[in-house]
A and B are shown apart, each in its own frame.
Chain A
Amino acid sequence: MDLSRRGFLQAAALTAAASGLTVACGGSSGSGGTKNGKNLTLWYWGGALSDKVVAEAKTHFASAVTLTTASIGGDFKQKLTTTLAAGTSVPDITGIKGEDIASFLPNASRFLDLNDLGFKKLSSQYLGWKTKLAQTKDGKQIGFPIDIGPTALFYREDFFAKAGVDTDPAKVAALVKTWDDYFQLGTELQKKNPGTYLVNNISSVFNIAVGQGTQRFIDKDNHFIGDQDHIHAAWTTAIRPYTLGIDAKINDQTWNAAVGKNLLTELGAAWHALDIEQAAPQTKGKWRVCANPVGPANQGGSYLALPKQCRNPEEAFKIISWILSPTNDARGFTDAAIFPAAPAAYAMPAMTGPDAFFGGQKIIEVFGPAAKAIPDSYEAPADAAVMAPYMTELTNIEAKGKKPDDAWKDAVSQAKQIARRQGVN
């Protein structure tokens, strides 16, 4: 006891000495650049923006500011949170992932309100539901939408043809208007193509089914609603393919091998096309896309934000609105497969071309309308954390054969606990 106290005093003394040192050194350390706002840093991660557009932004704004960009690998959120918390070496412009944006909203004061800088005038160019997700309740806009992830149904044209199903995207879309239709089609397809499965796992079904609604796990009044009908309905939908035996139950990297082999369809966002293409290049030309059952949901899609410490907000805002202008946003689709949040881009040549991987299908004809049809939903800061147990329990059903009813009870009780921990009532 005596000793730990001594150690503690030592630590305290050293810390005190250290902070004294900083004071003594004045501003010699710190953020590196001068305070005249001529140097701006931009943090993003590989694939978040088109590297070409970013490189052009540097030259385009060279007369006004020097833009330094850093593509950061690994855990981006952890790095950003840490620097924001410490308040030093904060970037002037930063990317924020779509799945993280809600958790940054309670700390909106750490960011500049983009509306003050002129976003209001531009906001009509971007999808309203996406913009709103980066807005606080009192209307502060912290994120400038980069891209979105409208979902659709990817399917294997060859397997469909073998089962005698019309393979035209519009026809398939008509066939799978509801989840029940989709699963029924799946059982038929499986009969004609033995050893194949309709969905890779049931979590992906649940994810989309939840995203199709306007309510998620926590409502605007900060109440837990993860035990209510809309979630239970999504859960029941997700269980169906499992009980029908058309679920491949893949929850690991074997997906990479399976996707070119025995998966009949894939439910996923626009960017998922690239996953499929990279994992199964040999299936080129055999895939098609159509609207997924019921309606589209969103998965992923990021934002740019300006932390409070930004050294030149006006120029920084000019830079991000240039990088994310519909024209440049469309180029992001070509360069990095990021699907623009600006609908005007969907009509641009960069996006309207046929895609050879999908047998020459113009996939924007599926994703464009999907993007606009995504419902306006409220995502609470703790939403991702509260959703996790549902995904876990769905995986438990697949891996351990846990009874779906037990899994539902456990999922709800755990979600409630997490919600309580996160201050949801």
Chain B
Amino acid sequence: MTAVDDTTHRAPRARRLRRPKGLTAHIVLMLSVVISIFPFLWTIVMATNTTQDIYKSPPKLTFGSHLLENIRHVLHTIDFFGSMFNTIIVACATTVLVLFVDSLAAFTFAKFDFPGRKVLFGLLLLFMMLPLQLAILPQFILMSKIGWVGMLKALIPPALANAFGIFWLRQYIENGVPDELLDAARIDGAGFFRQYWNIALPMIRPALSFLAIYAFVGAWNDYVWPLVVLTNPAHVTLQVELAQLNVGHTTDYSMVMAGVLMAALPLVVVFAVFARGFIAGATEGAVQGT
């Protein structure tokens, strides 16, 4: 195992060794894919049918013809596009800030020693374990003190205070960014920030894409806090607006599903864009050094 140390350069030489189990691997993966996307497909099925079809026994599993009707119903009931616009703003701002704040802190934790480093990091881990649901009330009071209640920006700070990103990026940087490179840069006179910006950041792009998706999806699907803090009905996010479909004594699930589906489409786009990032990272990305 000491060989590891000698080959740390991680240069792949474009060689791929493991292919004998190719077919089995594809079969297993394909089966998993089917299981993975089945509920998503079923969401589409539900959105194209009526609520009664959903509750048939066994449930109807084929596409119906009610999609447009359900979509019209959604657009009629809620301000879909307005709230989606708000969500896009919040999700984008959150994602960019999360990426910056977390990567900077993670880089520092991974590659530098400074007094209090361990304690600060441990604290991070500790607080990841506290469920934040209980914080809603004090958070709201805080927001009302600084006058942010009802404003979209009130959604961003609580989303930033998520330690997962730092934890994850630190993990990745420790292994993914060779110290030699940083040392070399230092010798060339690169300061702290340049080491971060010019060397570390480009090398951790795959990890950043993953975090970006994670943060974006999180912001997109966040519900309880926006519901409470966005007091102005003209300024709510998509999930809060969608929740309005889901009230009353009975729920029109086919309409809810149409809304859910419409709300998920932009996610799929974002996902496809960033997923490219972590796919690139796999074989020809910066980490591999080709």
Contact = CB atoms under 8 A, between A and B. Distances in A.
A contacting B, Cβ–Cβ less than 8 Å: yes
A22 B146 CA distance: 5
Contact of A74 (B149, B223, B248): B223
Nearest to A261: B57
Nearest to B141: A86
Contacts of A73: 227, 240-247
Interface stretch (A158-166, A182-190, A270-278): A270-278
Contacts of A79: 227-228
Interface in A20-46: 21-22, 25, 28-30, 32, 45-46
Q: Name the residue in A4, A70, A281 with the highest tally of chain B Cβ atoms < 10 Å from its Cβ.
A: A70
Contact of B147 (A29, A68, A271): A29
Contacts of A87: 144
Interface residues of A, number: 47
B51 interface: yes
Nearest to A75: B227
A274 B243 CA distance: 20
A337 B136 CA distance: 34
A74 B248 CA distance: 10
A89 B247 contact: no
A337 to B, nearest CB: 8
Given A79-B228, A86-B141, A257-B55, A71 B244 contact: yes
A32 B150 contact: yes
Nearest to A19: B145
A117 interface: no
Contact of B123 (A4, A68, A278): A4
A397 B67 CA distance: 42
Given A32-B150, A75-B227, A79-B228, A46 B249 contact: no
Interface in B210-248: 223-224, 227-228, 231-233, 240-248
A85 B228 CA distance: 12
A396 interface: no
Dominant SS at the B interface?
Answer: helix
Nearest to A80: B228
A46 B244 contact: yes
A47 B123 contact: no
B241 A89 contact: no
Given A70-B233, A256-B55, A271 B249 contact: yes
A78 B228 contact: yes
A46 B144 contact: no
Contacts of B3: none
Nearest to A90: B231
A84 to B, nearest CB: 11
A274 B250 contact: yes
Contacts of A7: 123
A278 B227 contact: no
A270 to B, nearest CB: 10
B137 interface: yes
Interface string A275-306: 10011111000000000000000000000000
A222 interface: no
B72 to A, nearest CB: 17
Classify the interface of chain A: helix, strand, loop or mixed.
Answer: helix
A282 B51 CA distance: 13
A278 B250 CA distance: 7
Contact of B149 (A15, A18, A72, A88): A88
B249 A86 contact: no
A279 B146 contact: no
B147 A275 contact: no
A122 interface: no
B140 A82 contact: yes
B93 interface: no
Contacts of B144: 86-89
Contacts of B149: 29, 86, 88-89
Contacts of B26: none
A83 interface: yes
A71 B240 CA distance: 11
B56 interface: yes
B128 interface: no
B228 A82 contact: yes
A278 B245 contact: no
A308 to B, nearest CB: 16
B249 A257 contact: no
B120 interface: yes
Given A18-B142, A71-B244, A83-B231, A47 B147 contact: no
B116 interface: yes
Contact of A72 (B56, B123, B146, B244): B244
B52 interface: yes
A82 B136 contact: yes
A28 B223 CA distance: 28
A22 B147 contact: yes
Interface string A164-183: 00000000000000000000
A244 B120 CA distance: 63
Given A74-B223, A86-B140, A275 B249 contact: yes
Nearest to A268: B249
B142 A3 contact: no
Contacts of A78: 224, 227-228
B27 interface: no
B62 to A, nearest CB: 18
A22 B144 CA distance: 9
Nearest to B149: A89
Contacts of B140: 82-83, 85-86
Nearest to A68: B233
Interface of A: 2-4, 7, 15, 18-19, 21-22, 25, 28-30, 32, 45-47, 68-75, 78-79, 82-83, 85-89, 253, 256-257, 271-272, 274-275, 278-282, 337
Given A30-B147, A78-B228, 12 more contacts: A21-B147, A22-B147, A47-B249, A68-B233, A72-B244, A73-B227, A75-B227, A83-B231, A253-B55, A257-B56, A274-B250, A278-B252
8 contacts: A2-B119, A15-B145, A47-B247, A75-B224, A79-B227, A87-B144, A89-B144, A281-B52
